[in-house]
A and B are shown apart, each in its own frame.
Chain A
Amino acid sequence: MCPLQCTVDTRKASFPARCQRSVIERDMVYYSKAPIIEAVIDVQFSNALSLRELERLRDRFKKSYPSVQERLQVQVTLGADGRSSQSTSTDGFQLGDSNGSDLVLLLPQAAATIRLPPYGAWEKLLERARYNFDELTSIVGRRQVTRIATRFINRIDVPNALIIGAPLSKFFTITVAFPQGAVGNINGTSFTFSAQERATGFWANVNFSNAAPALLEHQSFLLDIDVYKRDGIDLNIDAMWNQVDELRVAKNNLFEAAITDEVRKLIA
């Protein structure tokens, strides 16, 4: 069983006091077929890292993440007369472990810890993100954090047998619908909205779209939830990571609010 999108009521008793949540949580929910295709914790900071600093970080992280890929920024300037010039510079590094499941993205103003499926547990992801941030700080010094975020991309695969002829609202609460008196097929849907999650007060960017079917005789939908905090990020590191931990509650609440029991049955 993979814990997914879960909140942690039952865990509070044994959790360190500093990590206990003060926000409203739903009951813990576990899904054995976790639809998460990408889980990210991202920390952005104000002072950009230099190339030398990025390289030092790469060298440190590649012990744990041996798959190193350099991101090059290729800039092509095109003039009205058709002439062009181009320049190339290193924009950062993406490092991955040997299974390609755990990644670190190092950019001049951000460090992201990424987990691909199978998603294990939030606590593990949080622990890795914190460890990575501590490593970063130990090498390049403390940066002023300007944004903390967690982004979960879920792909929900719905069998054709269930969805053909059914309204999307049977599966999702955020959806598109035909005007009254019209029927048809929804061939391509993608929309993004920003919203404040009521229980926690955190803001989120949410994208809902249908994607190329990942499976035969299925339709695939992406529910991409990016919960973030810009203002009031605690300067105390422990407190800041508590804030990151709390972002998860908003993410879980939004996910649960966006799906219906039909989807829950599919991923249970």
Chain B
Amino acid sequence: MTALAALAEVGLTSERLFAPNARSTFFRPSLGIDLTGRRNETAVKSSDAISASQPGSDAVAHVLRGGRSTVKRSVYQADSLAQRLFDARVELKMATARYAMHLSQEARDRLFAEFDYLLEEETWDPSDRLPSAYSYQSFLKWLIYTSDCSWSSLGISDDGTIMAAWVRGQNRLTADFGDKIRWSQAVLAEGEIQTSAGRFSLEHFAKRAKEFLASVVV
């Protein structure tokens, strides 16, 4: 088995090693304390060095050069669907917590209740993708930027991205918080439903938020 194949087998592909923004929450040494890494430096480098995912990391460079070394990595396991859904709820709540200083208790409680509802085992299709924390963070950024908590409901797309909807009578705005924000709008004007849709960056969608929401809430 080659070095890279061995790394791939434990989920450490070169892309992942060099991804500057690896989002694996539990790799972050700052979650809790980086005790694992510091105490287990039995080989070349600890799991922290790998999890740092920085190009040029000594451990990574050493491994990729093919020198004799040992890579240690800490991973977490979840088994049943119930457990995975529970963990997904917890992960979203943890993501919310990181913005707690910018969100009211009421706003957090509403989000928590929505995810408790969405991620129920009875209604969840096991083949569906679990929600993306990254997408959820985008939604939270939008929420905080606009200071608008008037969303009507949240959903999870087939890709695991977070979707939000604002519905007032026949007026409706939906947004899918993927890498870009895919939005659609339907408003009653000139005696009929006018529709439009688009694909914006998060920043642009946030800047246009008042305009969008005003058209729905009229």
Q: Which residues of A contact B108 (CB under 8 A)?
A: 118
Interface segment out of the listed A168-176, A179-187, A208-216: A208-216
Partner of B68, one of A80, A107, A149: A80
Partner of B90, one of A37, A100, A109, A151: A100
Q: Decide: A78 and B33 in contact? CB cutoff 8 A.
A: no
Q: A75-B70, A78-B68, A216-B141 are in contact. Are A116 and B32 (CB under 8 A)?
A: no
Question: Does A40 reach chain B (CB closer than 8 Å)?
Answer: yes
Contacts across chains A and B counted by CB atoms under 8 Å: 170
Q: Decide: B39 and A109 in contact? CB cutoff 8 A.
A: yes
Contact with B along A77-90 (1 / 0, CB 8 A): 11110111010000
Q: Which residues of A contact B75 (CB under 8 A)?
A: 71-72, 74
Interface segment out of the listed B95-103, B151-159, B161-169: B95-103
- In B63-89, which residues have CB < 8 Å from any A CB? 63, 66-78, 86-87, 89
Q: Decide: A72 and B77 in contact? CB cutoff 8 A.
A: yes
Question: Does B94 reach chain A (CB closer than 8 Å)?
Answer: yes
Question: Does A53 reach chain B (CB closer than 8 Å)?
Answer: no
Q: A117-B98, A215-B141 are in contact. Are A107 and B72 (CB under 8 A)?
A: no
Binding site secondary structure of chain B? helix
Question: Does B214 reach chain A (CB closer than 8 Å)?
Answer: no
Question: Does B203 reach chain A (CB closer than 8 Å)?
Answer: yes
Q: Which of A37, A66, A155, A267 has the most CB atoms of chain B within a 10 A radius of its CB?
A: A37
Contact with B along A141-158 (1 / 0, CB 8 A): 000000001010101010
Partner of A100, one of B6, B74, B91, B102: B91
Q: Decide: B145 and A67 in contact? CB cutoff 8 A.
A: no
Partner of B74, one of A34, A73, A215: A73
A219-B193 Cα distance, complex, nearest whole Å: 41
Q: A86-B9, A91-B36, A112-B32 are in contact. Are A78 and B66 (CB under 8 A)?
A: yes
A34-B6 Cα distance, complex, nearest whole Å: 44
A-B contact pairs, 9 of them (CB 8 A): A67-B87, A69-B26, A73-B36, A76-B73, A80-B66, A84-B3, A91-B40, A118-B100, A212-B21
In the A-B complex, list the 8 residue pairs whose CB atoms are closest, starting with the nearest: A117-B100, A84-B6, A100-B94, A69-B76, A100-B90, A118-B100, A100-B93, A33-B101
Identify the B interface with A (CB < 8 A): 1-3, 5-7, 9-10, 21, 26, 30-33, 35-36, 39-40, 43, 47, 63, 66-78, 86-87, 89-91, 93-94, 97-102, 105, 108, 112, 141-142, 144-145, 202-203, 206
